[in-house]
């Protein structure tokens, strides 16, 4: 029972490079979410998806792109990484509106 996984767990990159963070869930949950966690801000929603091929912006979407061609995968791409995108990124999924969100272990990203 893998649940929800994220890869890589740690990533170091340079400014201007493209980076893709992967998220995979095995529950066939409809809803998936990407958050970033920064000290003093808690978790802030970047993008979310209600189903395959349906995505929408969250609170802090600038500089990020998402896609969802398959229900189980929800990759997050930083098209041109900036230092301000250094953060811990969490993916989450839920089986329905207002149901519990289950979180992955996170990806720690450092942009130099």
> Which of residues 16 and 35 has its CB atom nearest to other proteins in the complex?
35
Distance CA 72, CA 25 (A): 5
> Which of residues 16 and 95 has its CB atom nearest to other proteins in the complex?
95
Please tell me whether residue 103 adopts helix, strand or coil conformation: strand
> Which of residues 50 and 65 has its CB atom nearest to other proteins in the complex?
50
| Pairing mode, strands 107-111 and 87-94 | antiparallel
Q: How far is the CB of 26 from other proteins (least distance, A)?
A: 15
**Where in 6-65 is the site for other proteins (CB under 8 A)?**
31, 33, 35, 40-45, 48, 50, 58
């Amino acid at each position: 029972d893998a649940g929800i996984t994220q890869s890589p767990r740690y990533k170091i990159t340079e400014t201007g490079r493209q980076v893709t963070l992967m998220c995979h869930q095995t529950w066939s949950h409809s809803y998936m979410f990407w958050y970033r966690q920064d000290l003093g801000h808690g978790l802030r929603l970047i993008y979310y998806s209600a189903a395959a091929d349906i995505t929408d912006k969250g609170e802090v979407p600038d500089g990020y792109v998402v896609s969802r061609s398959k229900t189980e995968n929800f990759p997050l791409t930083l098209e041109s990484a900036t230092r301000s995108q250094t953060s811990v990124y969490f993916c989450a999924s839920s089986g329905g509106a207002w149901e519990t969100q289950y979180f992955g272990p996170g990806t720690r990203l450092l942009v130099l």
